[in-house]
Amino acid sequence: MRKIVFLLIVSLAFTEVSAQAPYAYRIFRSNGEPIAFDTMVDEITLTDIALFGELHDNPIAHWLQIELCHRLNNKGKVLVLGAEMFETDNQLVLDEYLEGLISQSRFENEARLWPNYKTDYKPLVEFAKENNLPFIATNIPRRYASMVASGGFEVLDSLTPRAKEHIAPLPVDYNPELPGYKAMLSMMGMPGKMDSKMENFPKAQAIKDATMAWNIAGNLEKGNLFIHFHGTYHSNNYEGIVWYLNRYKPSATQKTIATVLQTSANELGEDNKNLADYIIVVPERMTRTY
C-alpha cells in the first residue's frame, strides 16, 4: 500500500512539473487557435507561395524554416526558395555555387552575406544545393534602397537600364496609408512634422517589398511552391510583400507566417492576432542567434 501511495505521489509530481514546463514555441492560426506544425505543412502544400516572416536572430524561426523545407520536399512538392537576405545582383554568384561551378569558400567570400549567414541561412542554401533546387536572390541591392531613403523613388530614374533590371519595374506603386508604412513614420516622429527625407524611410521599405514580390512572381511556375524568407515586418498584416504580390501575381495563392515574441507561448496575445495565416509564438527569453 505504501509503495502504491509513493508511486502515486511521484506520478502526480511529475505531471505537475510537466504541466509547468514552458513551450519553446507554439503555432496559432490568425484567430488564436493552436495548430500543429504538421497541419500547417499540409495546408501550405496546397498553396503557391509561402511567405515565412522571421525574427532575424530567432533560432526557433530558423529551425522551423529548414524543417518546413524538408517536410515539403518529402511530400514531393517542387520547391523554389528565395530570401530577403540575398540581393538581386548576387544571383549570378549564388547560381554558380548552387551549380557547383565555384567552391563554397569562394561563394561565401564574394557574396554579400549577412553576418549570421553561417548559423541561420547557410542551412537553407545547402538544402537547395543538395536537392538541386533554385534559390532566388529577391531583395533590391542595398545601395539602391539607400538612394530611395535619401531621395525618394525619383532618384531611381537616373539609373541605367542595366541597373534597373535589379529593381521592380518603375514607377513603383506606393500607398503611404498602409498601416505598416505609417507605423514606420510614427516611430520616427509625428507625421506632418518631419522633413521629406524622413518621409522617404518607408519608401525604402516599399521598394524592398516591391522588388521581393516582383522576383517571387517572376520565378513562380505552375505546380511549384515558392518559399520566401524575410523579416516578419515585410508581410505582417498581409501588407508589404503581400500587397505587391496581389498586384504582380493576383492569381497566385499565398500563406503567410509571422514570428512574434511573447512572455509566454501558452496562447496568442490579442495584439498578435490576425498578423498572418500562421503565427509562431516564441518566449521572450528564448536564446538569440546573435
Residue type, 285: R
Asked if pLDDT for residue 14 goes beyond 60, the answer is no
Question: Which residue in 76, 224, 249 sits closest to 136, CA to CA?
Answer: 224
- pLDDT tens across 63-74, in order? 999 999 999 999
Distance CA 287, CA 3 (A): 42
Name the more confident of 197 and 10: 197
Q: What is the pLDDT of residues 164-187, one digit of tens each?
A: 999 999 999 999 999 999 999 888
**Any idea which of 15-19, 32-36, 102-106, 132-136 has the lowest mean pLDDT?**
15-19
Residue 6 has pLDDT above 70, yes or no: no
Residue 260 confidence (pLDDT) above 90:
yes
| C-alpha atoms less than 13 angstroms from C-alpha of 190 in its C-beta half-sphere | 2
CA 125 to chain CA centroid, nearest Å: 15
Render pLDDT for 181-233 as a digit per residue (tens, 0 to 9).
Answer: 999 988 876 555 556 678 899 999 999 999 999 999 999 999 999 999 999 99
Element at 81 (helix H, strand E): strand 78-87
Provide the percentage of residues in the chain whose pLDDT is more than 90.
87
- Domains detected in the chain: 24-283 (3.40.50.11550)
Summary mean pLDDT of the chain: 92
Using the predicted structure, report yes or no on whether residue 25 has a pLDDT greater than 80: yes
27: cell is 503555432
pLDDT of residue 186: 83
pTM of the entire structure? 0.91
Calpha distance 185→234 (Å, rounded)? 15
Average of per-residue pLDDT across 126-140:
98
Looking at residue 13, what is its pLDDT?
Answer: 45
Residue 249: per-residue pLDDT: 97
The radius of gyration computed from the CA coordinates of the chain, to the nearest angstrom, equals 22
Q: Is the pLDDT of residue 4 over 70?
A: no
Q: What is the pLDDT of residue 198?
A: 85
What is the model's pLDDT at position 26?
A: 98
The cell numbers describing 84, all together, are 530577403
Residue 185: predicted pLDDT: 86
Give 174-243 as a DSSP string.
Answer: --TTSHHHHHHHHHHS-TTSS-HHHHTHHHHHHHHHHHHHHHHHHT--TTEEEEEEEEGGGTGGG-THHH
The predicted pLDDT at position 1 comes to 54
Q: Which residues contact 233 (CB under 8 A, 6 or more apart)?
A: 53, 180, 240
Q: Which residues contact 27 (CB under 8 A, 6 or more apart)?
A: 34, 35, 36, 37, 40, 278, 279, 280, 281
Distance (Å, rounded) from C-alpha 123 to C-alpha 289?
Answer: 14
Average pLDDT over residues 22-27: 94
Q: What is the pLDDT of residues 237-257, one digit of tens each?
A: 999 999 999 999 999 999 999
Q: Which parts of the chain fold into alpha helices (H)?
A: 2-20, 37-44, 59-74, 91-98, 104-110, 122-130, 142-151, 161-164, 179-188, 196-199, 201-218, 241-248
